[in-house]
Structure 1
Amino acid sequence: MAVRTTSLIRQHGGPNRAGWADATAKWRRCARAGCATLALAGLAALAACTPTPAPAPDATAADLPAGVVVTLQQLRSDAADRTAQVRVANDTDGDLEIARVELRDDWFDGPAVRERDSTITAGRTVDLRIDLPPSACDGEPDAAARESLVVLTLAGGTAYRVAADDPLGFTDRLHEKECLAHDVAAVAGLSWEEFVPSAAGAPAAWRLRIAPAGGDGALRVVEVHPTNLLQFAAGAPAPFAVGLAVDGTAPAASVDVPLWPLRCDPHAVLEDKRGTVFTLGVEIDGTAGLIELPATAEQRGQILAWVARWCGYG
């Protein structure tokens, strides 16, 4: 079964964003150059007595200085709070004084901007943290028309505008995952409800609620995947089958999911980061994919306390 793509899930309306961006970029270049085609005659007449104007402070250069490399990274610890890193490697003989970093990507709902002075000394590589905007899931362009740029502005005002290099493809995965969740939410809201703890040796119960949201489409919740901390049957870290089909107007439904600790070493609880973030396999309008459904902060505390008691050290 096909994995979700933007074109499979929905038809995009609205203007051609790639064409609009191209036209806008041309207009801006014209504006920065003083619209030479309109003012050429006047400038020629004044050339003998008018000094050459300095470059506009927001002008952008196509290429970074030799020895400077910019890439996008997302560390594992960044995923939960939707941050990322603009990694700047300065393999030159001089320091870089960076005043502003901006990520412009058609697959996000607006730019990611970091306005903070940062010095990257010669020979060093530094990660500059940015907060990612929400994914754009309505009217965004297809992958072939997508524009993704990083703009580095130095302390003196010189700016470098370069294609965003995402070697691990995290922006693709994030857009795919969040827009699938967006499409699912239009049909039905998925949430974790009451958590019922258990004594050691018996499973706890956690209720998954499916509440139709009135949107068009056919949704099937296929299964829930175990985490690095929790499973659904003792000694069997396999998905829990749900197999529930709903549409936007179906009655609300719920499923009780059994929970067993997958491991009982104390540091698994003390150092937990994603043990209560569950992945659900879903199908929407015949297209399969995975979305995440985390516990709330209160539920997470209840589950971790239960695991500690169940394992005998809580």
Structure 2
Amino acid sequence: MGVALSSCASSTPPPTVSVALVQQRGDIAPGRVQLRVTNDGDSAVVVTSATLTSPVLAEPGGGETKRPVTLSPGRTVDLPVTLPALRCVTEDPSAQAVLRLEEDGGRRDATLDVTDELGVLARLAETECGREAVASVARISVASAAVGEGGTIDLEVSIEPTGDAGAGTAELRALRGTPLLRFPAGSETPLDVTVRADDPPSTMTVALTPQRCDAHAIAEDKVGTLFDLVVRVEDRDVVIPLERSPSVAAAILSATAAVCGLTP
């Protein structure tokens, strides 16, 4: 991998460092990715800043690390990067990382191509394109969650059309469950709701049941309240996260604990 260096000290051989992009389960809800940095060289390198750039990102993400990170030869470390606003792009979603490195008393910035073998950036761009298409018709979000009759968790889904009569329609086809929650009929439930951009606001209720009821799973949940919404819009099917606030996510977990009999 080639490294472009802007020297801040006396000339030394460039460090052999490689960077890959990953997004772990715990990164999805807070909206971040990880720069997985590996020191492939023979001497230690200290990283004090890591910035990610890509056409998918509206602006560079990342910056100074919380503390200097020392990479001995062969060591790999994940550096978290909070995602800025995303762009709907169809161009090459390749990325570069700019690492500020300290070695042998000198400091330099290294610009490196980022390996994205799992297609994280392409997936983020595709999701953003779907989100923008749906948002042109209506805002779809979870307004509240409560314990329902018969041992269910009832989600109240809010539908707020934009009012733009020329924006067309969105067909809400299905909602997908999570590792924590499913639907009475299975892992996906049909919705079959057509929304016009000039419709009045409305709501619908979706019933859920727990997939698991151990206290640890609920307390340590990372993606159990992140539901995928399948929508037909602009003559294509898109899958977008169903929007919910942190307080609604907490309400979903609280209702789940109650249904599981884990609360007084």
- The alignment's TM-score, normalised by the length of structure 1, stands at 0.71
Confirm whether residue 151 of structure 1 aligns to residue 102 of structure 2: no
* Deviation sequence 1:202-240 (CA, Å, 0-9, x none): 43432212111134232111111122222221xx32322
Unaligned 5+ residue runs, structure 1? Answer: 1-54
* DSSP-derived class of the 1:241 partner: strand
Distance 2:108 2:258 in 1: 59
2:254 aligned with 1:305, yes or no? yes
1:185 to 111, 135, 138: 135
Q: Is the 8 A contact 1:109 1:134 kept in 2?
A: yes
Deviation at 1:248, TM superposition (A): 1.8
Higher helix content, 1 or 2: 1
1:282 paired to 2:231: yes
CA contact (8 A) 1:186 1:214 kept: no
Report matched runs for 1:17-96 at 5 Å: 57=7, 65=15, 67-96=16-45
TM-superposed deviation, 1:281? 0.6
Q: In structure 1, how many angstroms separate the alpha carbons of the residues matched to 2:175 and 2:6?
A: 55
Q: Deviations over 1:4-45 (max 9, x none)?
A: xxxxxxxxxxxxxxxxxxxxxxxxxxxxxxxxxxxxxxxxxx
Cα distance in 1 for partners of 2:28, 2:74 equals 28
Deviation at 1:147, TM superposition (A): 4.8
Q: Percent identity?
A: 32
Instruction: Work out the CA distance in 2 between the residues paired with 1:69 and 1:276.
Output: 34
Question: In structure 2, do the counterparts of structure 1 residues 114 and 279 end up closer, same or farther at CA, with 3 Å as the change threshold?
Answer: same
SS in 2 for 1:250: coil
Q: CA deviation at 1:135?
A: 0.6
Q: In the alignment, what sits opposite 2:207?
A: 258
Equivalent of residue 69 in structure 2, options 94, 102, 118: 118
Cα distance 1:281–1:58, how it changes in 2: closer, same or farther (>3 A)?
farther
- Residue aligned with 2:191, SS: strand
Is 1:131 aligned with 2:90?
no
**Cα shift at 1:73:** 1.8
Choose the corresponding residue for 2:124, options 174, 187, 196. Answer: 174
CA deviation after TM superposition for structure 1 residue 81, in Å: 1.2
Task: Report if aligned partners of 2:19, 2:113 keep a CA contact under 8 Å in 1.
Answer: no
State how far apart, in whole Å, the 1-side matches of 2:250 and 2:79 are.
Answer: 32
Q: Note the residue ranges of structure 2 that are not aligned, 5 or more in a row.
A: none
How many Å separate the matches in 2 of 1:121 and 1:92? 9
Deviations 1:236-271 (A, max 9, x none): 323221111122212223222122223333333222
Return the structure number with greater strand share: 2
- Compared with structure 1, are the counterparts of its residues 312 and 153 closer, same or farther at alpha carbon in structure 2 (3 Å cutoff)? closer
Q: Distance in 2 between matches of 1:283 and 1:64?
A: 50
1:167 positional shift? 1.5
> How large is the RMSD of aligned CA atoms in angstroms?
2.6
Larger radius of gyration: 1
